[in-house]
Structure 1
Amino acid sequence: MLVANSVRSFSTTARRLAKKIQETVEGNVTTVSLVDVPEPRNKPRFKGFLAAKPENGKEPCSMCTCGLPVKLAYTDVLILEQFMREDGTVLPSEFTGLCDEQQQRLERCVMQAHWTGLFPDKTIPELDRTGWKRLPRYWKDDEDMFNPRLRVMPGNFYYIKRYNPRYDCKKDAAALFAKAVNKGIVKSPKRIAEQAKAQEESANAQPATKKKTTKGK
């Protein structure tokens, strides 16, 4: 019976530096070779867990340890699903292990993904989908949902009917009604009441005048 001892060796991957192709011509001979290029200092690199600075004395979370300029967005569906329950709600920070800043950003991105319609199988029934809210909405940043200014044309992605959401319909309707009353197209309720009162007074005054005329004869 033969027993072979298995030995496992651990090694780290070699550092991959940037290379460039260089051609050298010596007479009739052309030599092509790779030359190392020094990496720029402003190039983003992975800092690692130990290089990350703790915030308020707390250990950095998994999203803060990466120094790459990548920001979580509502379109990162596969990443968002890792922090969600089956019903589409977000897990608390005790389970996600994220800091307060990343947890709030995660919750905003998940809410934006629901509003955009990226989770049709995980949308909870309590989510309001009536009227214009059933249309998908899109954002450039996770904080755009708190921006009071409408950056799109009124009616696009926000409203079914294309009308100005800040349009004062009561004020305009009152102005149109006043023009119609002045032109005699429509009678105002005040004028109708005055005419009815005048007709009633004239009707009550007619019998009295008739009696006076008969007595005089």
Structure 2
Amino acid sequence: MLKSASTLARSLLIRPQAFRLCSSSSNSQSAPVAGSEDEPVVLENNPYTKEPRKCLLCSTGIELDYKNSRLLQQFVSTFSGRVYDRHITGLCDEQQKKLIEAIAKSRRAGFMPIFVKDPKYARDPKLFDPLKPIRPHSFA
């Protein structure tokens, strides 16, 4: 019968008195603790995982309101008046749906023009570059 490798090594090959671990003090006579230094380190969380990506509105905590036409205009094309897609704006699916509903409600209420951007909003800071999308589109 064959013994397991660990019991064979303990009984025949390795005698704790003759085997000395590398340490700073050569006079230590204590028996080596099996596996204390050789056991794998268990991490609580993976250091290589990417942080979950949050959209612009979720990370800043901005609520979409149909009366805030200044914010809504930045997600609308200045040339055609169409709402930019998710891959350009970088919004999550939930916020993109809320954005479309808020823009439609704002247009019905008369706060936003339907096709043309109001000239007084032309100097607003750009939240994103529509010609350089955050994520590539599958059809482009």
Q: Which interval holds the TM-score relative to the shorter structure?
A: 0.3 to 0.5
Rg larger for: 1
Higher RCO (C-alpha 8 Å, min separation 6): 2
In terms of fraction of residues, the more strand-rich structure is 1
TM-score if structure 1 supplies the norm length?
0.28
